[in-house]
Amino acid sequence: MTQVSIDIAAGARAPSPYVPRMARILAAEQMTETERFFRLQAEGEAMRYEPGQFVEVMVFGIGEAPISICSSPTQGEAFELSVRSVGVVTNRLKEFKAGDRVGIRGPFGNHFDYAAMKGQDVLFVAGGLGLAPTRSLIRYVMDKRKDFGKVTILFGAREPKWLLFRSEVEAWQKRGDVDVHVTVDRGDASWKGNVGVITRLFSKVAIDAPRTWAVIVGPPVMFKFAVLEALAEGIPEHRIICSLERHMKCGVGKCGHCQIRGIYVCREGPVFTYEQVKRLREGI
Amino acid sequence: MLPQVLKKGDLGAWIEALGKTWKVAAPVLKETSVSDRTDAKFGWEWVVDPAEVRLDYTVTVLGPKKFLWPSRQTVLAYALAGEPNPQAVIEHEPQVLLGVHPCDITAIATLDAAFGKDVPDPHYLARRKDTAIVGLDCAAPCDESCFCLDMGSLHPESGYDIMLTPHRDRYFVEVKTDLGQQLLAGARLQPATKQDMQGRQAFTEEQRGNFHYQLPCEVKYLPEILDASYDSLVWEAIARRCFSCGSCNTVCPTCYCWDVADQIAVDLTKGCRVRRYDSCQLDPFAEVAGGENFRKDRSSRLRHRMFRKGKYILEQTGRAGCVGCGRCERACIAGISIKETFVQIAGSR
Amino acid sequence: MAKPVLMFDSLSCCEGCGLQVLNCETDLLPILEKADIGRFREASDGDVDHYNVAFVEGSIVTPHDIERIQEIRAKTDLLVALGACATHGGVNFLKNFQDPDDVAKYVYGDKRAWFPHVAARPLKAEVRVDAEIPGCPINPREFLEAATCLLTGKPFKLPNYPVCVPCKLADNVCLWHKGAACLGVVTRAGCDPYLCPSAGHKCIGCRGLVDKPNTQAAKDVMAEFGLTVDDILREFRLFQGIYKEVAQEA
């Protein structure tokens, strides 16, 4: 085991990684009953990030919550978040609107390896809020469409009312250069589309396994079965990519809350290959 | 530099002199009535009266970690009225930890690595930089829970400024750093005599006779042994007795996980973020906002702690995750022993 | 904006929790700037028609207590149970383990018919309770934190770990090692810095059980310390009789 060498004096002078910078909300919109969309701009120098990274959003006096960035750096200097109201901080964020300010730390974590996917096919499988981190890469791929081969998007939610980015997904469907399929577990009177779990969509698409990357993000049970489908299609484990959800509290690999076995998800993740996740065992 | 000694009778005067420049913390006697189940009657405190300092101490509930990594620490302060203007709160003042046992010296090196690696944490490191460490070598294990020899923490090569080796009425003084030299400015040191050199040698022999290996394998094999035990029923069996009370983590000298909470001042104009010790043995530790808990069984939490101590920290920092101080075992009313656990899984492989 | 109206009232209890609120002394002043006091039984006369937050201590022991808590609930937006009696029934709950008539006879003798009473219960047995501050008495710091949360709309959360954590942080030698059956190992923390073990007294569980206590471990380990389940239940019942695990085994 190699000992990491530590410079205590230099570290003592380092800036605290726990101080947020201010960001202004440029736009805010309620997407579903529980999910709220924000477009934010960091004050001062723009925040540089990569698809798949996350930020800690701080509401002063209340606390911080780790949120995946759902936009792509190709979209410009602002960044976008899709926040589900499930905790103390995210419930408070429900009241935030354009013009309000929050604290931001980050971006943290690794990112989707789009360079490795260049020239190849990409299959996106997103369930529910899993579309948020996935969208960061989808938008990147859309903006650099020529760099990639065939692009397929499978998106599912419990019910039509829980579908995120609905008009945007419809716009993708109309593009013609992306194959998009949407399904819901339970339809309603107005729903004309597919009904059933997301794995049923695999039969609708043609996958050229040797040249395909599968990006699968969603709740644990959806992830498990979507991975089985991808493996059955012949996509190798190291080309199945996921993004894990944990409660990252510090973002810098110290506080321990996001740890899976020896891995700090906030630093070495949140993006992993299925090959890695499988070995972690506690991953999903 | 020539070898030197400090008479035990001159210790008080030295501490007095140190106190003029540094805040001095040292072990003192805290409890006079304790049963035979523990010997933890000493505790680390700021020295008020040098006469209270007990360098003949054995074990303490908490180690000197608390002076470097306080259990509650404000890391951020901001305004709630007007511009938030968040500012880091980094507090430190020159301090000396006097009489640190080798196990705790090793543990502090682990904390240094954990807080210093990757993204440095100046809240810890600023305190660490301002801290001088006077080590105190152990002639014998503190009690039966100790297994520092196995964990490689009995003979730290660095991480201290001075090492005191007790022998009869004096300490043999080893100066390790320039800071250590400065600390000794007010000490009535005497050049070591030939007898002192022999005494130093006698201590080493005595130490060698008193400490024995207790694990059936070398510590470097622990990660591999732990890996092989991942699916063992042993975790379930031990966890039946575990209260998930968090005592083991709270007293551990290498534990550094924390939780944060934002607090609002009573007048509602200011806020701050406080971090405090957290414990991976507590039920909500690996819970996410939606309520999913990734280590909801006691057994998986217990296994996580043993893996952190025997494998993860070692792999991440190259330093000991467990220093064999025995504090967790002493603190556990169910008597769950990390040493016994390591012995058990090594044997059941 | 009008200031929120707070109210403090007491049902069957010693009113020690109300006293703890007053013990906050100067720390109460900033709260008084932000809020009005509609009623405070322990401190002043008077009453108003509507409260935003009612802090009620004491348990329900008499039919009058039931009427009173329903009356308060109807007049308040939020109801906070203050202290062990209001959150868990407190020591009053002990009477539920005895014959009701024996209890009445012991307390009121031949005048017992004048004092109707019901089985002791916490506030939540009768009305909706929005938040609880446990303890006998309450920790004034926790009251201040809850009050700040209420004034800012931040959810108030109780610690979900046992007393062992702050007790170890206080550098205390474990009382089990001194031969005491301390209940801190399964009792919800939040009393620090007023920890009984720091003063040499074992924890008697006044703040109720932590979520998901390991009752199996409790029995096994206590037996090793020479204690029987009965010994422990007696300890537990003082404040924790309301818990199914404790009550059923009794």
- A252 belongs to a structural domain: no
Closest CA to C80 of C58, C60, C55, C50: C55
pLDDT score at C177 = 82
Q: Same domain, yes or no, for A60 and A168?
A: no
Q: A13 touching B, CB under 8 A?
A: yes
pLDDT score at B34 = 55
State the Rg of chain C over Cα.
19
Each residue's pLDDT expressed in tens, for chain C with a length of 250 residues: 689 999 999 999 999 999 999 999 999 999 989 999 999 987 788 889 999 999 999 999 999 999 999 999 999 999 999 999 999 999 999 999 899 889 999 989 999 989 999 999 999 999 999 999 999 999 999 999 999 998 888 889 999 999 999 999 999 988 888 888 889 988 999 998 899 999 989 999 999 988 888 877 877 887 888 877 677 777 888 888 777 666 555 4
How far apart, in whole angstroms, are the C-alpha atoms of residue B273 and residue B94?
24
Q: Same domain, yes or no, for A118 and A236?
A: yes
Containing B264, the helix (H) or strand (E) segment is strand B258-264
Residue C194's CB: how many other CB atoms inside 10 A?
Answer: 14
pLDDT score at B33 = 58
- Which amino acid, one-letter code, is at C185? V
How far apart, in whole angstroms, are the C-alpha atoms of residue B88 and residue B272?
10
Measured CB to CB, residues of chain A less than 8 Å from chain C are 61-62, 88, 92
CB–CB of C65/C58 below 8 Å?
Answer: yes
In the predicted model, is pLDDT for residue A173 greater than 80? yes
Q: How many angstroms away from the CA of B203 is the closest CA of chain C?
A: 31
Mean predicted confidence (pLDDT) in B218-236: 92
How far apart, in whole angstroms, are the C-alpha atoms of residue B320 and residue B324?
9
Taking only the tens place, the pLDDT of each residue in A52-95 is 999 999 999 999 999 999 999 999 999 999 999 998 999 999 99
Q: Same domain, yes or no, for A144 and A165?
A: yes
Q: How many angstroms away from the CA of B242 is the closest CA of chain C?
A: 6
Chains that touch A (3 or more CB pairs under 8 A): B, C
Q: Where are the beta strands (DSSP E) in B2-110?
A: 4-7, 23-29, 42-46, 72-79, 87-88, 95-100
Q: Residue C203 to residues A149, B71, C192: CA-CA distances in angstroms? A: 67, 21, 12
Containing A256, the helix (H) or strand (E) segment is none
- Per DSSP, the three-state class of B45 is strand
How far apart, in whole angstroms, are the C-alpha atoms of residue A23 and residue A46?
10
Which phi and psi (to 5°) does residue A271 adopt? -90, 125
Top pLDDT among A143 and C42 is at A143
Please report which confidence band the pLDDT of residue A284 belongs to, taking 50, 70 and 90 as the band edges: low
State the Rg of chain A over Cα.
19
Sign of CA dihedral B190, B191, B193, B199: positive
* CA C184 from centroid of its chain's CA atoms: 16
Mutate to test the interface with A, among C145, C149, C154 (most CBs of A within 10 A): C154
Q: Same domain, yes or no, for A122 and A152?
A: yes
Q: B298 touching C, CB under 8 A?
A: yes
CB–CB of C69/C38 below 8 Å?
Answer: no
Closest CA to B215 of B342, B93, B121: B342
Q: What is the mean pLDDT of chain A?
A: 94
Q: Out of C152, C155, C157, whose CB is closest to A61?
A: C152
CB–CB of B230/B303 below 8 Å?
Answer: yes
Q: Which residue of C has its CA nearest to A62?
A: C154
Ramachandran assignment for C205, one of left (phi > 0), alpha (psi -120 to 50 degrees), beta (any other): left
Q: Same domain, yes or no, for A235 and A120?
A: yes
Give the position of tokens 């076995």: A261
Taking contacts as CB-CB distances below 8 angstroms, the residues of chain B near A7 are: 116
CATH number (domain holding residue A31): 2.40.30.10
Chains that touch B (3 or more CB pairs under 8 A): A, C
Q: How many angstroms away from the CA of A63 is the closest CA of chain C?
A: 10
pLDDT score at C231 = 75
- A155 belongs to a structural domain: yes
Taking contacts as CB-CB distances below 8 angstroms, the residues of chain B near A11 are: 115-116, 120-122, 125
Q: How many angstroms away from the CA of C80 is the closest CA of chain B?
A: 18
Taking only the tens place, the pLDDT of each residue in A177-207 is 999 999 999 999 889 999 999 999 999 999 9
How far apart, in whole angstroms, are the C-alpha atoms of residue B123 and residue B90?
5
Top pLDDT among B263 and C216 is at B263
- A6 belongs to a structural domain: no
State the Rg of chain B over Cα.
22
Non-local (6+) Cβ contacts of A89 within 8 A are A57, A58, A59, A62, A63, A64, A65
Give the ipTM of the model, two decimals please: 0.91
Residues in chain C: 250
Of chain A, the percentage scoring pLDDT greater than 70 comes to: 99
As given in the structure block, the two tokens for residue A76 are 């410009």
Contact A88 C152 (CB under 8 A): no
Candidate from A151-160, B32-41, C57-66, C201-210 with smallest mean pLDDT: B32-41
Q: Which residue of C has its CA nearest to A63?
A: C154
The whole domain housing A16 covers 11-107
- Per DSSP, the three-state class of C9 is strand
Please report which confidence band the pLDDT of residue B31 belongs to, taking 50, 70 and 90 as the band edges: confident
Q: A280 touching B, CB under 8 A?
A: no
Last residue of a domain, one of A73, A107, A141: A107
CB–CB of B254/B107 below 8 Å?
Answer: yes
CB–CB of B333/C216 below 8 Å?
Answer: no
Q: Same domain, yes or no, for A85 and A184?
A: no
CB–CB of B257/A255 below 8 Å?
Answer: yes
How far apart, in whole angstroms, are the C-alpha atoms of residue A91 and residue C234?
43
Superfamily (CATH H level) for C5-152: NADH:ubiquinone oxidoreductase-like, 20kDa subunit (3.40.50.700)
Which phi and psi (to 5°) does residue B275 adopt? -110, 145
- A283 belongs to a structural domain: no
Q: Residue C12 to residues A268, B240, C46, C101, C143: CA-CA distances in angstroms? A: 57, 40, 20, 18, 20
Taking contacts as CB-CB distances below 8 angstroms, the residues of chain A near B286 are: 246-247, 257, 259
* CA A114 from centroid of its chain's CA atoms: 14
Q: Same domain, yes or no, for A42 and A137?
A: no
* CA C109 from centroid of its chain's CA atoms: 29
How far apart, in whole angstroms, are the C-alpha atoms of residue B222 and residue B211?
20
Q: Show the DSSP H helices in chain B as ranges.
A: 11-18, 65-68, 102-116, 122-129, 178-183, 194-210, 222-228, 234-239, 247-251, 298-307, 313-317, 327-331, 338-347
Contact B120 A14 (CB under 8 A): yes
Between helix C215-224 and helix C229-240 the angle, nearest 10°, is 130
Q: How many angstroms away from the CA of B194 is the closest CA of chain C?
A: 42
pLDDT score at C88 = 92
Residue B345's CB: how many other CB atoms inside 10 A?
Answer: 20
Between positions 214 and 273 of A, the ones with CB within 8 A of B are 220, 245-247, 249-250, 252-257, 259-262, 267
Contacts by residues C96-105 (CB-CB < 8 Å, ≥ 24 positions apart): C96/C120, C96/C241, C97/C237, C97/C241, C97/C250
As given in the structure block, the two tokens for residue C167 are 């007790």
pLDDT score at B32 = 65
Contact B279 C165 (CB under 8 A): yes
Of chain B, the percentage scoring pLDDT greater than 90 comes to: 85
Contact C155 A88 (CB under 8 A): yes
What are the structural domain ranges in chain C? Answer: 5-152, 164-249
Q: Residue C74 to residues B73, B172, B189, C71, C214: CA-CA distances in angstroms? A: 42, 76, 78, 5, 39
pLDDT score at C250 = 42
Summarize chain A as % helix, strand, coil (round to 5).
30, 30, 40
What are the counts of helices (DSSP H) followed by strands (DSSP E) for chain A?
8, 15
Mean predicted confidence (pLDDT) in B158-178: 95
How far apart, in whole angstroms, are the C-alpha atoms of residue B314 and residue B220?
9
Highest mean pLDDT: which of A270-279, B96-105, C40-49? B96-105
How far apart, in whole angstroms, are the C-alpha atoms of residue B258 and residue C163?
17
Q: Which residue of B has its CA nearest to A1?
A: B318
**DSSP bridge partners of B170:** B7, B167
In the predicted model, is pLDDT for residue B23 greater than 90? yes
